[in-house]
Amino acid sequence: MSLIARIRARDATVGVIGLGYVGLPLAVELARAGFKAIGFDVVDEKVRRANAGDSYIKDVPSDILADCVKSGRLQATTDFALLASCDTVNICVPTPLRKTRDPDISYIVSAVEEIKKYIHQDVLVVLESTTYPGTTEEVILPMLARDDFRVGEHFFLAFSPERVDPGNPRFNTKNIPKVVGGITPQCTEVASALYATSLTTVVPVSSAKVAETVKLLENTFRSVNIGLVNEIALMCNKMDIDVWEVIRAASTKPFGFMPFFPGPGLGGHCIPIDPFYLSWKAKLAGFEARFIELAGQINGAMPEYVVGRVVEALNRRKKAVNGSRVLVVGVSYKANIDDIRESPALDVMRLLKRHGAEVVYHDRFANADDPELAHAEVSPIELTREALSRCDCAVIITGHEGVDYQALLAIVPAVVDTRNVYAGVASDKIVRL
């Protein structure tokens, strides 16, 4: 039986390397579609919790995970030797930027090295980790292919960009359209067949390079437009214009305008990083992506601008930032999730401390034991009247639901609002972005 036939019959064993925000939801969807799914990770705690049916990813309910585990359709492991039993392998590992802003694909390379040890004929390998155009063909293919082990014939290789939006109540792994591009047409066909078994819509494209560039375009589009609206916000501040009112009124145009909103900076694993993957690759091709780089500079400077607004808010109260107690409200990179990767709150807190402020934070979603928060050396507080009365200024970085913003405004002497949570509220305490 061919691999496609085994996939369509759910007789294939599917492997997923990396059980984070991308990998765990994918493994669960494949298991729910009827496959035997094996999730691989190097973190013992993730494997333990997954096998206990205890989800650490908000978008994966524990009861659904537990059902997959109890039925025997899903198991997690740190033993990569089990790759030998897999007919398909999806790579869902981190791809950070180095401090020099060049791509760090070491996690991808490590995953492929493990696959290479156990790879067999008639197996599909799909990279989902966001990376620069050409990674699948230029890095992974040479690691796996041999003269007697040819892609599109003995094994299949493709790229399919993850499009996870943590905390999105409408779109999830199952119903977000899945772009797929293979090294050969046969590779695209096999990979498309896998995703068609468990996901609502599959969108084949002509090559892995196209699929890799699709993801970078999507997030560069957001980065550039956010950079534009952040620059508009800076301009409006200089001219004493309410940028939020401008955006609200512009949004009434039924064509030719899409609203983006200013903020304290970019966060998450994708939007602050992906555009630089594209510009880095463009430089290698002799092209300078000036628009992308400029947007990155504007967005990257927003935390410093926010700290300047905190200084202004305190000055209005004849207070110096040095020695003031500043409350950061919301440290995750977007509302109502626990993910603090690349969150602008981390930069804001670091800069405030450099100015001599005593910094505390409140975030009911974030894990206080997160290494990045621990490294920031800031203390969490509850928003009690006593705790708020000890703060000289609050700065709202992430507009989580469930926060009593009115009580905060009533008690804290000055509030910097970077998310427009006080839309329509008139108060001399508020300093807007």
- Per residue, the 3-state secondary structure of 121-171, as one string, reads CCEEEEECCCCCCCHHHHHHHHHHCECCECECCCEEEEECCCCCCCCCCCC
Task: Decide if 3-205 and 301-432 have a common fold.
Answer: yes
H-helix segments, 84-163: 106-118, 135, 141-144
| DSSP 8-state symbol, 137 | I
Selected residue with higher pLDDT from 275 and 238:
238
Instruction: Assess whether pLDDT exceeds 70 at residue 253.
Output: yes
What whole-number distance in Å separates Cα of residue 304 and Cα of residue 195?
43
Structure tokens at 284: 């290698």
pLDDT at position 372: 85
Q: Give the pLDDT confidence score for residue 370 in this predicted structure.
A: 86
Question: Is it true that domain 215-298 has CATH number 1.10.1040?
Answer: yes
Q: Which residues contact 425 (CB under 8 A, 6 or more apart)?
A: 409
| Structural element, H or E, at residue 410 | helix 405-411
CB 205 within 8 A of CB 180: yes
What pLDDT, on a 0 to 100 scale, did the predictor assign at position 35?
97
CB 120 within 8 A of CB 156: no
Domain 3-205 class in CATH: alpha beta
Task: Give the Cα-Cα-Cα angle 355, 356, 362 (nearest 5 degrees).
Answer: 95
Global confidence as pTM: 0.91
Specify whether the CB–CB gap between 129 and 95 falls below 8 A: yes
Angle (CA) 220-371-306 rounded to 5° is: 50
pLDDT at 36 over 70: yes
User: DSSP assignment of 341-357, as one string?
Assistant: TT-HHHHHHHHHHHTT-
Query: Cα-flanking dihedrals φ and ψ of residue 145, to 5°?
Result: -80, 145
Burial class (CB in 10 A: 0-12, 13-18, 19+), 45: exposed
- The string of DSSP letters for 60-73 reads S-HHHHHHHHHTTS
**Run of H or E residues at 125:** strand 123-127
Residue with tokens 């039993």: 85
Q: How do 358-362 and 415-417 pair as beta strands?
A: unpaired
**Percentage, residues of the chain above pLDDT 70:** 99
Q: Is the pLDDT of residue 72 over 70?
A: yes
Catalytic residues: 270
360 C-beta neighbours (distance < 10 Å), count: 18
Asked if pLDDT for residue 99 goes beyond 80, the answer is no
| Range with the poorest average pLDDT among 150-159, 271-280, 349-358 | 271-280
- For residue 164, pLDDT over 90 is answered with no
Would you state the pLDDT for residue 203? 98
Domain boundaries, the chain: 3-205, 215-298, 301-432
DSSP state of 98: P
Higher pLDDT, 347 or 275: 347
pLDDT digits (tens, 9 = 90+) for 174-221: 999 999 999 999 999 999 999 999 999 999 999 999 999 999 999 999
pLDDT band at 277 (very low <50, low <70, confident <90, very high): confident
Single-letter residue type at 265? G
According to CATH, the superfamily of the domain at 301-432 is NAD(P)-binding Rossmann-like Domain (3.40.50.720)
The DSSP secondary structure of 193-252, one letter per residue, reads: HHHHTTSS-EEE-S-HHHHHHHHHHHHHHHHHHHHHHHHHHHHHHHTT--HHHHHHHHTT
Burial of 180 (0-12, 13-18, 19+ CB in 10 A): buried
Q: What integer is the mean pLDDT of 355-369?
A: 94
Q: What percent of the chain has pLDDT over 90?
A: 86
- Residue 1 pLDDT > 70: no
